[in-house]
Every structure is written in structure tokens, then in C-alpha cells.
Amino acid sequence: MAKRSDLSIFVSTLLLFLPLLMVAEAELGESEKFPVVVSTWPFLEAVRAAWRAVDNGSSAVEAVVEGCSACEELRCDGTVGPGGSPNENGETMIDALVMDGVTMEVGAVAAMRYVKDGIRAANLVMKYSQHTLLAGEGASAFAISMGLPGPMNLSSPESVKKWSDWKDNRCQPNFRKNVVPENDCGPYKPNNDRMDISGDIRTESCKMGTIEYKPPLIGPHNHDTISMAVIDKMGHIAVGTSTNGATFKIPGRVGDGPIAGSSAYADDEVGGCGATGDGDIMMRFLPCYQVVESMRQGMKPEEAAKDAMSRIARKFPDFVGAVVAVDKKGSHAGACHGWTFQYSVQNPDMDDVQVFTVLPSD
């Protein structure tokens, strides 16, 4: 009887702790999926830099900063960091953002001059101010006061030549519309003769020999952003972006790079998103906020990404852009419109960074 009683106690105890053992096993399985690094485009060295940081125990925010900073130093595709994408005045400016999915804090800089370290400047805004976004020379002054090197010239021989060739081509293409230049490269004034009472361009103006000004083609080498999401070993998520903006933009232009919810967004309870493309259009729709909220409502990353793109395409069928989504479990997917998109991933199942190719949806 004593042995049977002892056996009963053992079985009862085992049944009591079995659910706890199952939970522990499940948590172990989940932890094996982390950390995760996801980035727009095949910016392999940037992803490796973020992976080294997070795999060695850095937080998601720290790893995002390291990854985007590596891309700035490498001047990825000429569209990130100093030395690329001159504006109409031939000057390179920096936009960047970092967002902590745990606290929902954001730091960002826009149209920043004289300081090359965009993502580190954005992180300083988040850490040492109660603001979300600093712009222009104020952003530069703050970054330098917090210890970043500067002021410095952000142009390069390549960006200066690109700008010079553009000037020789009568400053075409550019981002102006409904204007008349006093000479080939401005100054510009409104072309009221071409507007009807509603403000729309008259179609017959083309027959009168008026020059049609078309914006530069949008592509990975003239209009791009690194947008990165990192989930650390604790399962916390952060996102970051950095870009020197659209080539030949009007001075003062700010794209979607430093706009939370447009170029990137993160929420620990759901996941994160990064975006790239025509920021002037995409920022009107906050696609990354939309992606995260769609995942919150139960959509898978692929569904959420495609839905965000389709919302923009319905209004602007000719726009070019892409998003990459990652949920809190590390599942990821991308979607694009108007071009073929690639994004990069590294997780514990991979020996090195893997690049995924996404074709535009119909």
C-alpha cells in the first residue's frame, strides 16, 4: 500500500508540473528563433554588423544603430551616408530615425547638414531629449554638442560630378512642377498661364511647346533607404533608417526616412516594418504603421505587407516602393510595387545573411 501511495504522489506531482515543463520547452523553442535582423536591400555588411552586435548580447536598439551606421560608413548604393544624393544646390543632407518597440520612443533627424552619422544622431535625440525629430542646422548643432564629429563637408567627388553633370543638362530631371524657370536652372516662379481655375495643368499647354518637367526616375541607386528591424535575444524589437534622400531634391525637402510609421515602425507586442521607395508618396500613407496594425489584427507578415502596398497603389498606380514586415516571432515577408525588391535576413538558422527577392504584385 505504501508503494502504491508513493507512486500516486509521484504521478500527481508529475501532472502538476507537466504544464510548466511544456511552457518552458515552448519558450526555449521561441528563443531559438532570436535574434533576428531584417533589412531592406542586399546591404549584407550592414546586416552582419547588426548581427554581430545583437548576437553578442546588445539590445535591439544598439544593434540597429550599429547596422545602419555600417551602411552609412560604406555609403551603401550611394544613397546612405555622406557623399551621395546631392540636392539642387549640390549638397548632401542626412535623414535618419530609430524607434524602440518596447518604450515606443523615437529619435530622428531630418535635412541634417555637416554631420555624417545620421543614425547615431537620431539615437542621441531619443536618449538625450524629449523631442522626436530635430531638423536642419539645429539637428547638426545638437549632434555635435552631444559628441559626434562635425561640422564637415558631406559631399564627395562623385556627388559633385553628378551635380555638375545635372547642371550641364539644364537641371533636368528635377522635382519641380507647374513652374517656369527664369533660366535653365531657375529661379522658378509659378506658371499660372498653364493652370485652370481648379489649379490643374491644362492639357493644351503641351501643344504650345511648353517644356514638361519630369522627376528623376526612382530606383535603388538614387532614391533609397536602409530600413532595418532587429529582434534581440530577449525578444524586444527596434527599427532604424538612414538615407541621404532623393537625388536632386529641392533644398529643405524631407522624405519619409525620419517619419515614424512611414519608413519604419515597431511595437514589441506585434512586430516591426521597414520601407523604401518614393518617400514623398509613401509618407502620405504611413505604410509601416499600417503593416504593424494589420499584423495586430491577425494578418501574417506577407498579407500585411501586400495590403499596405495595395492601399498606395490604388491612389498612385505608378508609384515605386516596398515594405518588409517581421512579426514578434521572427517570421518575415516583403511586398513591393513598381520594381523588384530584395531584402536581407539573418537569424540563428542561417550561417550568413540570406537575401530574399520579391516580385511586384499585379
Tens digit of each residue's pLDDT, the chain (362 residues)? 544 455 555 445 444 544 443 333 333 344 468 999 999 999 999 999 999 999 999 999 999 999 999 999 999 988 898 988 899 999 999 999 999 999 999 999 999 999 999 999 999 999 999 999 999 999 999 999 999 999 999 999 999 999 999 999 999 999 999 999 988 898 999 988 755 444 444 333 323 233 344 555 565 555 578 999 999 999 999 999 999 999 999 999 999 999 999 999 999 999 999 999 999 999 999 999 999 999 999 999 999 999 999 999 999 999 999 999 999 999 999 999 999 999 999 999 999 999 999 999 76
109 annotated to bind ligand: no
257 is in an annotated binding site: no
- Bridge partners of 231? 36, 237
For 74-121, the pLDDT digits (tens) are 999 888 989 888 999 999 999 999 999 999 999 999 999 999 999 999
C-alpha 36/C-alpha 38 separation (Å) is 7
Complete DSSP assignment for 62-116: HHHHHHHHHHHHHTGGGTSSSS----TTS---EEEEEEETTT--EEEEEEE-S--
CA 150 to chain centre: 24
Q: Is 193 annotated as a binding residue?
A: no
Q: What is the third-level CATH fold of 36-157+217-358?
A: Glutamine Phosphoribosylpyrophosphate, subunit 1, domain 1 (3.60.20)
How much is the pLDDT for 14?
A: 44
- Alpha-carbon distance 246 to 277, whole Å? 10
Peptide bond preceding 187 in cis form (omega within 30 of 0): yes
Nearest of 269, 281, 272 to residue 334 by alpha carbon:
272
Report which DSSP code applies to 187: -
Q: Are 247 and 88 in contact, with CB atoms under 8 Å apart?
A: no
Please tell me the predicted confidence (pLDDT) of residue 238: 98
CB atoms inside a 10 Å sphere around CB 217: 11
**Distance from the first to the final alpha carbon of the chain:** 74
Q: Is 67 annotated as a binding residue?
A: no
For 240-299, how does the pLDDT look when each residue is reduced to its tens digit (9 = 90+)?
999 999 999 999 999 999 999 999 999 999 999 999 999 999 999 999 999 999 999 999
Paired residues of 239 in beta bridges: 99, 229
How would you classify the pairing of strands 332-337 and 341-346?
A: unpaired
How far is 241 from 110, CA to CA, in rounded Å?
11
Catalytic residue numbers read 225
**Can you give the pTM of this predicted structure?**
0.85
Measured distance CA(208)–CA(185) in Å, rounded:
21
CB-facing half-sphere around the CA of 283: CA atoms within 13 A? 12
279 annotated as ligand-binding: yes
Closest C-alpha to 296, from 319, 272, 275, 318: 272
84 is in an annotated binding site: no
Q: Helix or strand or coil: residue 265?
A: strand
Annotated domain spans of the chain:
36-157+217-358
Planar angle of CA 324, 326, 330, nearest 5 degrees: 145
